[in-house]
Amino acid sequence: MRVAIVGTGAIGGFLGARLALAGVATSALARGDTVKALRANGWRLRDEDGERRAPTRVSADATELGPQDLVVVAVKAQSLRGAVASIGPLLGPDTIVLPAMNGMPWWFFNDVAGPCRGLSLASVDPDGTIAAAIEGRRVLGGVVHLSCDRPEPGVVAHHRGRELIIGEPDHTESVRVRAVADLFTAAGLDVTVSSDIHSDVWYKLWGTMTINPVSALTGATVDAILDDDLVRTWCETAMVEVRRVGDRIGCPIAQTPAERNDVARKLGAFRTSMLQDADAGRSLELDALVGAVREIGAIVDVPTPTVDALFGLTRLSARVRHLLG
């Protein structure tokens, strides 16, 4: 496959580097200093094996890269509307688009049963720009469970986890989903093909939509958040609200919030991606992570007062610190 990475930060850089190291022909749609770094050095991946490099084509102009077999979209949610305006030349007749992003994706309610069927979320794709640029038939759902950061342009440091969950939004197991799974498995990822990718997306959202914004508000790592009884209890109250919303949209969660946080506790003194963005002065992906939950809750008549408070506090903090996209 010819694979293009759109969004060459921590997650996109990790996936691109792993593919290139496995011999896959990769391209990167990037900008600024990242273009210069990738042209000079290719992908640079730092992990338990030291630093390794792998070549890639890179351009700020998708026309120079041309149509791809697979496009991995790994930009922050608040940057996606701008990114899709430039990816058209990457999309051939049968190009697959695999989002590798946090938060609620724009495609989530395409052709699903239930009260939100066909819904376009104002918090995610307010004017339909994303859906218009990326046809629903192209999309494979994706969920990434791994930890990386980008210490400098073109360089990715991998810390833990290699899990990638992919699935067809219509819940079938297609030839293309198996081909993409084989591609990433050969690149050293732990790949699961899911028959219910919506539930996988919702489960990850459930685990991140409290701790991530709380970390950005407080500057605290995951262990510190969970060790504070008052903060942990407040987060778990919000998680109960989100679980009730999930029940209404066909994504029930069997775990209790305490059980889910026990999983998060194993990360130790982990700096969430939102905390990394806040510390670096980058905008926060707040709407797709928290605003979308509020929006869905209102549609399915599930009150979300704790989620509302979390959203309001984090939004105000981000506005004061000039971190709103």
Q: Which residues carry out catalysis?
A: 204
Other CB atoms within 10 A of residue 36 CB: 13
Nearest to 164 by CA among 14, 49, 4: 14
Alpha helices, H only, 43-79:
62-65
Number of residues that make up the chain: 325
| C-alpha distances out from residue 43 to 40, 56, 144, 267, Å | 9, 7, 19, 26
**DSSP characters over 113-155:** SSTTTT---TTT-TTSHHHHHS-GGGB-EEEEEEEEEEEETTE
39: tokens are 């042209």
Q: Tokens 């799974």 map to which residue?
A: 181
State CA 143 to chain mean position distance: 7
> d(Cα 158, Cα 99) in Å, to the nearest integer?
19
Kindly give, in sequence order, each residue whose CB lies less than 8 Å from that of residue 51, ignoring residues fewer than 6 positions away: 44, 45
> d(Cα 88, Cα 143) in Å, to the nearest integer?
23
R_g of the chain, CA atoms, integer Å: 19
Phi-psi region of 221 (alpha: psi -120 to 50; beta: other; left: phi over 0): beta
